[in-house]
Amino acid sequence: MGQDQTKQQIEKGLHLYQSNQTEKALRVWMRVLEKSADPAGRFRVLGCLITAHAEMGRYKDMLKFAVVQIDTARELEDPDYLTESYLNLARSNEKLCEFQKTISYCKTCLNMQGTTVSLQLNGQVSLSMGNAFLGLSIFQKALECFEKALRYAHNNDDKMLECRVCCSLGNFYAQIKDYEKALFFPCKAAELVNDYGKGWSLKYRAMSQYHMAVAYRKLGRLADAMDCCEESMKIALQHGDRPLQALCLLCFADIHRSRKDVQTAFPRYDSSMSIMTEIGNRLGLVQVLLGMTKCWMIRKELDKALESIEKAQELAEGLGNKLGLLKLHCLCERIYRTKGQQQELRDHVVKFHECVEEMELYCGMCGESIGEKNNQLQALPCSHFFHLKCLQTNGTRGCPNCRRLSVKPGYV
């Protein structure tokens, strides 16, 4: 298959894919991959296969094609192709929750000396790296990467990237419990979709609606959360987007749990868990198990709650997700206090405070914890964040956290 025919077949596959004929599109692209003698065409078709498998939640296949794409990029001896292939390798590992590998491949991308094409990818690289740092609960570095990605989006007038970064920022602020910002950023993403997204994939609308649903639930606006989640789920079902279906089911379950309707919540957690297991979203599984633990606690079935915690703890430790571990220690603390088991209670109190220290989840001005309850936060240019009221009350002459880190011990 020559260059022109390769190009023609790739376009045919794209047309099928955009018409929701995914399996037919995959067959066309696989035929191109087998028969094409054009390395640039093979590289492009591998990019199509990587994107399609990502959206279907077939992350192991996504990774397999990303590895083949790197070999093709090396054959082409072009730094732009190599940067793009390493970004796809990073994104594959991010989806599989291999966060340290994601960060390593992103750093490889940023160190490559490509042309302006490579530089335009740096925004996507920073976004992927930020998502990985967030998965590891390294919040300052995550925020630093998201802000960098946002600057790239603004400088290149890349509205799609800006939309994706806004969704990740919504997730970031939901985790550290500034729920106003957790809602603001996906609302901004939804605005971008309305203003610029006429030719975009519907996944951008679905993504923003899902993150709005999460924030609305956290704010106790359950009817709004349900509306947004239903809209997101509708698009996810139309497009066979398994990863988003799993997240929506988790959100539905959380909404029902917030209404104390445990009986309706459990089947949705089970369905979400089934898809998360199938696609390999281990971080999502931790969230599902946390929700199920809270349901068992509502039912006062504490031994079943501890069983869920044990499974979640094993996953969170394997991922290096420190925020998940902190939440699990907090739930154990409540369970063992109810059971009157003082030694276990003390153990989990100590571990809880160790997690807080390790993640630096406290305000460097007042010393009180961040992420314990809904609080307005404000980041300084260094990406350290504080209670907004503390910054307003005390003002700032530089960052107190950075000052502490720069103080070197003197020689004795």
In a domain, 367, yes or no: yes
Exposed, middle or buried, 220 (CB in 10 Å: 0-12/13-18/19+)?
exposed
For 291-319, how does the pLDDT look when each residue is reduced to its tens digit (9 = 90+)?
999 999 999 999 999 999 999 999 999 99
In a domain, 391, yes or no: yes
DSSP 350-396: HHHHHHHHHHT-B-TTT--BSSSS---EEE-TTS-EEEHHHHHHH--
Rounded distance between C-alpha atoms, residue 50 and residue 45, angstroms:
9
For 329-387, how does the pLDDT look when each residue is reduced to its tens digit (9 = 90+)?
999 999 999 999 999 999 999 998 888 888 888 888 887 888 778 888 888 888 788 88
Q: Which domain, by its residues, includes 390?
A: 362-411
In a domain, 380, yes or no: yes
In a domain, 389, yes or no: yes
Residue ranges of the alpha helices (H) in 19-138?
22-35, 39-56, 59-76, 79-95, 99-111, 116-135
In a domain, 320, yes or no: no
In a domain, 368, yes or no: yes
In a domain, 394, yes or no: yes
For 22-43, how does the pLDDT look when each residue is reduced to its tens digit (9 = 90+)?
889 889 899 888 888 788 888 9
DSSP tag of 407: -
CB 290 within 8 A of CB 328: yes
CATH number at residue 389: 3.30.40
Please list the pLDDT of the chain residue by residue as tens digits (412 residues).
Answer: 677 788 888 888 888 887 778 889 889 899 888 888 788 888 998 999 999 899 889 999 999 999 999 999 998 888 888 899 999 999 999 999 999 999 999 999 888 766 666 667 899 999 999 999 999 999 999 999 999 999 999 998 999 999 999 999 999 999 999 999 999 999 999 999 999 988 788 889 999 999 999 999 999 999 999 999 999 999 999 888 999 999 999 999 999 999 999 999 999 999 999 999 999 999 999 999 999 999 999 999 999 999 999 999 999 999 999 999 999 999 999 999 999 999 999 999 999 888 888 888 888 888 788 877 888 888 888 878 888 888 888 776 777 777 766 554 444 3
Q: How many domains, in total, are found in the chain?
A: 1
In a domain, 21, yes or no: no
- Report the length, in residues, of the chain: 412
